[in-house]
Amino acid sequence: MSEKSVKIAINGAAGRMGRQLLAAVGERDGTAVSAAIDAPGQACIGLDTSVLSGGEATNVNTVDSLANVIEHFDTIIDFTAPAVTLALLETLRGTNKKVVIGTTGFTAVQLEALSAAAESLPIVFAANYSIGVTVTLALLRDAAKALGDDYDVEISEAHHHHKVDAPSGTALAMGHAVADALGRDLDQCAVYAREGITGARKSKTIGFATVRAGDIIGDHTVLYAGNGERLEITHKATDRMTFARGAVRAAHWVSSQPAGLYDMTHVLGLAKD
């Protein structure tokens, strides 16, 4: 590990994303894996992280307790589950650690706790760390502003059959981007399910549709349907490394930031605030 490397811990190291994150930290100059954590009972506990990443030995063994490795890292990347993420923030309270959160599926109350933690910790939190989705969110805002209320907006997404939350955090982020651009509150205008005699579509609503199947990594389409034409903006992820590389870029960026809540637009220098 070079002296200037940002020392990075991966929480949820054995997960689908954790394994990719270990590989992505290893391939980027200026970052090094210095700790890895997963849940007690996992087969990887006590073993070198290379058994998870498939890469070269790091001489870093995966542990089952964050508290045991707290001195070993500058920045932690967490792709786990909401309760695990909030426990991590509690453990890091009062430290000078930096945090990158990729976990999705938080309730409104959990999101408030996450925001409160960012008053004393630098936190990057994004529902999707791909560069393509970050650009897509900007395109969606521009399209919504130009098309206005005459176009019905529907958001559809598809993910693998292991995914536990719906709609995806990315679909919700897309909904918020469109709603904000149109001056609407997503909580008031979202329609998450339709069944039976639903009646005609209410104007100014934003509909969501969810597919869970096979090994789909993440597809999202936003449809703007007007009279006589339709516009669709689609993003398809074909490799989890796209999220992992974005999250590692965020970890490198946040290592020199003060406390606050950031997203990928800040990391990429696209933020307007």
Interface segment toward ligand NAD; rule CB under 6 A; list 13-21, 106-114, 205-213, 220-228: 13-21
| CA 26/CA 46 separation, integer angstroms | 19
CA–CA gap between residue 77 and residue 124 (Å, rounded): 9
Angle formed by the axes of helices 241-254 and 131-147, to 10°? 90
Contact call for residue 167 and ligand NAD (CB under 6 A): no
What is the Cα–Cα distance from 265 to 273, expressed in whole angstroms? 10
* No. of helices (H) and no. of strands (E), the chain: 9, 12
The encoded tokens of residue 228 equal 């006589």
Instruction: Tell me the closest approach of the beta carbon of residue 205 to ligand NAD, in angstroms.
Output: 25
Q: Is 128 in the site for ligand NAD (CB under 6 A)?
A: yes
* Residue 243 found at the interface with ligand NAD (CB under 6 A): yes
Give the whole-angstrom CA distance, residue 218 versus residue 207: 18
Decide whether 31 or 130 has the Cβ nearer to ligand NAD: 130
Cβ proximity to ligand NAD: between 40 and 258 the closer is: 40
Contact residue for ligand NAD among 8, 10, 14, 121 (CB under 6 A): 14
Which of 62, 104, 156, 255 is in the footprint of ligand NAD by CB under 6 A? Answer: 104
Instruction: Find the binding residues for ligand NAD in span 55-94 (CB under 6 A).
Output: 79-81, 84
Nearer to ligand NAD, 62 or 152 (CB): 62
Give first-to-last CA distance, the chain, whole Å. Answer: 35
| Catalytic status, residue 159 | yes
Which tokens is 265 given?
A: 């637009």
Give least dist CB 129 to ligand NAD, A: 4
Do 209 and 156 contact (CB within 8 A), yes or no? yes
- Residue numbers at the binding site for ligand NAD (CB under 6 A): 11-12, 14-18, 37-39, 42, 79-81, 84, 102-105, 126-129, 243
